[in-house]
């Protein structure tokens, strides 16, 4: 999942063509076919009447459970992707390998029309080849660190005096001007390192799941775009800091700094210690270092807090410190495009086969580990869902399509591109304050422009919360579907699936679908050590995957997809968003007695 803030805030369907094997009177056949096609009813997903009682195929549940739990191949996919290919930064050679491997593997397991879809230009292609550093004086010590994404290389190993730099406002630049040439700069305040006195690994308790069902209603007002005032304030502070960071990056380049070392951030319960470090867009110096012309000119590495801390304390004690550092990276292009992997199992019902059910997750990752829990898990689970259906020779009424997205970590680019190309989009605000935001955070000003496929998607199911088993599902405010999901999970309670909540959850690819009024869902998953230790860290490797949980996730997700593909009706939708009218709807009512209109601005 992307961390753009300090808090977590379309392939046209192909219809199979069949050869006519029996000789038929051609004129009569053509006439009958034309009549049939003209008579085919067109579904309005907003007008379908939903049944009060779902038809549950318990025999299908049993078959899917047996295949998913007793004959699983989810770890075969996982080891091949994470160990065989490794980290998958958007635009990198490894992500290209992963796109091609997923496409070819989906074909191998029997999916049809497996291909890659271009969602547009991303930016720089980059990979880390080797990064190391050691303290040379006053003692020798090996430092735990890696290059930050899109960092340039040092010219081989370089040795420099270490100095700490703190720039909180533009007036601080003068203190360091002309003093940093050839230096290894420590950039970032030394944070507290609390004792790990709480578990780094957890599962939801029954009480926590019960509490999650309650829908919170805020009593406070909301600012532009429906964002609470406190979040507006945090966003403004963040954007101001990012503007300063861009200037700092240029300053370090102008001063000919040898290299920059940053401290790793912490995580929940003090998990950012013990050699664990987090290497993502929060560590890069610059808002969009993957765009040519906005790239970083000085080598940057992020260090485990213990390595950083020793260097910091020595400099604060005025002890001369020197470090030798080698950052070896490779740029592979300036205008790399991003691609999603798409494949499908065609529908078989003459009236429903053009409709689509989608399952997926994001394929890209950060670089410090191998992207196992974020989000190799969601990728291999979606692939396992497709394998289960093919292994059972299930003939879905609707077409089942898998989408493995890229560019998620930088702003859900891949799924948004797919949704825009296939389903619809809305124009984004071009106000100056909005242009300063990452694209996925900019306010839509609409109206929505819809594509013909918009009426054909029944639902999209996403996994991107790590390796923990599914405990339920977020309806994303789609209250009409809560009762349907409650019936679907009733036979799954022995697997720990108990909770349907109308709450929203964010930070990943279902938002691209939800933004244009399509049913897009993310599952509730046990947290495990996702938010404490593995999310975007060097610990995000196969060792952090739970095979038993991944089997359960694939089985449960397959059942959700199966039910969606087989039911008579499409899934119910929320009212179509009207982003062009959202600001007007949020305006205060002008009803105060005696109020005098403010004078017009000059």
- Condensed to tens digits (0 to 9), the pLDDT of residues 99-137 reads 999 999 999 999 999 999 999 999 999 999 999 999 999
Averaged confidence pLDDT in the chain: 91
* pLDDT bracket for residue 23 (50, 70, 90): very low
- Top-confidence residue, 428 or 324: 324
Which residues contact residue 266 at a Cβ distance below 8 angstroms, ignoring those fewer than 6 apart?
191, 192, 193, 194, 272, 273, 305
Taking alpha carbons only, the member of 551, 200, 204 closest to residue 380 is 551
Q: Which band of pLDDT confidence, cut at 50, 70 and 90, is reported for residue 387? A: very high
Are 363 and 95 a contacting pair, CB within 8 Å?
A: yes
> What pLDDT was estimated at residue 6?
37
Dist. CA 560–CA 384, nearest whole Å: 14
Which pLDDT score is estimated for 602? Answer: 63
Q: Look at the block and give the residue holding tokens 């304050």.
A: 433
Q: What is the pLDDT of residue 35?
A: 38
The verdict on pTM exceeding 0.95 is no
Q: Considering only the top CATH level, what class is 125-215+222-333?
A: alpha beta
Give the whole-angstrom CA distance, residue 37 versus residue 14. 17
Task: Give the DSSP letter string of 298-366.
Answer: S-EEEE-HHHHHHHHHHHHTT---EEEEEEEEEEEEEEEEEEEEEEEE----TTTTTSEEEEEEE----
* Predicted confidence (pLDDT) per residue in 545-598, tens digit: 999 999 999 999 999 999 999 999 999 999 999 988 888 888 889 899 999 988
pLDDT tens track for 440-456: 778 888 799 999 999 99
Per-residue pLDDT, averaged over 165-180, amounts to: 97
Alpha helices, DSSP H, located in 21-92: 26-39, 58-70, 74-82
Q: What is the pLDDT of residues 244-301, one digit of tens each?
A: 999 999 999 999 999 999 999 999 999 999 999 999 988 889 889 999 999 999 999 9
Q: Tell me the three state secondary structure of residue 50.
A: coil
| Residue 1 pLDDT class (50, 70, 90 cuts) | low
Distances (CA, A) of 466 to 376, 383, 537, 553: 8, 16, 13, 10
The percent of residues in the chain predicted with pLDDT above 90, rounded, is: 81
Give domain limits for the chain: 125-215+222-333
Please name the residues in contact with 454: beta carbons below 8 A apart, sequence gap of 6 or more: 423, 424, 516, 517, 518
Q: Which two tokens stand for residue 337?
A: 């495009």
Determine the average pLDDT of the residues in 320-342. 98
At 20 the pLDDT is: 30
Instruction: Judge whether 305 and 318 are in contact, CB under 8 Å.
Output: no
Taking Cα atoms as reference points, which of 240, 267, 256, 262 lies closest to residue 186? 262
Q: What pLDDT, on the 0 to 100 scale, is given for residue 10?
A: 34
What is the H or E stretch that residue 564 is in? Answer: helix 547-566
Q: What is the pLDDT of residue 258?
A: 98
User: Rg of the chain over CA atoms, in angstroms?
Assistant: 26
Model confidence pLDDT, tens digit, residues 25-76: 333 323 333 334 444 557 788 889 999 999 999 999 999 999 999 999 999 9
Predicted pLDDT of residue 225: 53
pLDDT digits (tens, 9 = 90+) for 584-601: 888 889 899 999 988 876
């Amino acid at each position: 999942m992307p961390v753009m803030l300090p808090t977590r805030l379309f392939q046209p369907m192909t219809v199979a063509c069949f050869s006519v094997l029996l000789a038929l009177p051609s004129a009569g056949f053509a006439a009958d076919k034309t009549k049939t096609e003209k008579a085919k009813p067109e579904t309005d997903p907003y007008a379908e009447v939903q049944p009060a009682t779902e038809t549950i195929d318990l025999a299908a549940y049993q078959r899917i459970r047996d295949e998913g739990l007793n004959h699983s191949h989810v770890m075969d996919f996982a080891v091949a992707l994470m160990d065989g290919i490794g980290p998958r930064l958007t635009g990198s050679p490894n992500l290209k390998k992963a796109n091609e491997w997923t496409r070819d593997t989906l074909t191998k397991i029997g999916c049809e029309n497996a291909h890659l879809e271009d969602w547009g230009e991303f930016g720089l292609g980059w990979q880390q080849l080797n990064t190391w550093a050691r303290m040379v004086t006053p003692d020798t010590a090996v430092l735990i660190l890696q290059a930050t994404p899109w960092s340039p290389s040092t010219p081989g190993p370089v040795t420099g005096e270490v100095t700490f730099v703190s720039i909180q406002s533009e007036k601080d630049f003068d203190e360091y001007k002309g003093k940093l040439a050839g230096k290894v700069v420590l950039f970032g305040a030394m944070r507290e390192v609390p004792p790990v006195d709480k578990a780094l690994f957890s599962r939801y308790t029954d009480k926590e799941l019960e509490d999650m069902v309650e829908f919170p209603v805020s009593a406070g007002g909301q600012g532009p775009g429906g964002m609470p005032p406190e979040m507006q304030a945090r966003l403004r502070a963040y954007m101001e800091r990012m503007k300063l960071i861009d200037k700092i990056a240029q300053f370090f380049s102008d001063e000919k700094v040898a290299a920059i070392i940053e401290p790793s951030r912490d995580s929940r319960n003090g998990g950012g210690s013990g050699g664990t470090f987090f290497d993502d867009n929060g560590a890069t110096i610059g808002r969009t270092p993957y765009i040519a012309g906005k790239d970083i000119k000085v080598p940057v590495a992020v260090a485990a807090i213990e390595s950083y801390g020793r260097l910091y304390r020595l400099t604060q004690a005025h002890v001369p410190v020197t470090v030798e550092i080698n950052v070896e990276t490779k740029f592979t292009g300036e205008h790399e495009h991003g691609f999603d992997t798409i494949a499908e199992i065609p529908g078989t019902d003459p009236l429903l086969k053009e409709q689509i059910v989608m399952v997926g997750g994001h394929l890209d990752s950060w670089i410090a580990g191998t992207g196992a829990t974020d989000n190799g898990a969601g990728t291999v689970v979606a692939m396992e869902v497709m394998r289960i259906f093919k292994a059972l020779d299930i003939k879905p009424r609707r077409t089942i399509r898998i989408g493995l997205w890229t560019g998620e970590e930088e702003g859900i680019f891949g799924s948004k591109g797919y949704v825009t190309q296939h389903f619809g989009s809305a124009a984004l605000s071009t106000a100056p304050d909005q242009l300063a935001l990452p694209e996925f955070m900019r306010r839509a000003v609409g109206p929505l422009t819809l594509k013909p496929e918009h009426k054909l998607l029944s639902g999209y199911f996403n996994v991107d919360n790590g390796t923990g088993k599914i405990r339920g599902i977020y309806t994303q405010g789609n209250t009409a579907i809560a009762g349907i999901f409650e019936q679907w999970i009733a036979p799954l309670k022995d697997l720990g699936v108990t909770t349907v909540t109308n709450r929203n959850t964010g930070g990943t690819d279902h938002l691209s679908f939800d933004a244009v009024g399509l049913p897009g869902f993310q599952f509730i998953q046990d947290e495990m050590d996702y938010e404490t230790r593995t999310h975007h860290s060097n610990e995000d490797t196969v060792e952090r995957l739970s095979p038993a949980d991944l089997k359960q996730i694939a089985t449960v997700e397959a059942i959700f997809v199966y039910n969606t593909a087989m039911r008579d009706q499409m899934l119910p939708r929320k009212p179509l968003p009207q982003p062009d009218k959202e600001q007007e709807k949020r305006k205060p009512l002008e009803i105060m007695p005696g109020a005098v209109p403010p004078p017009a601005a000059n």
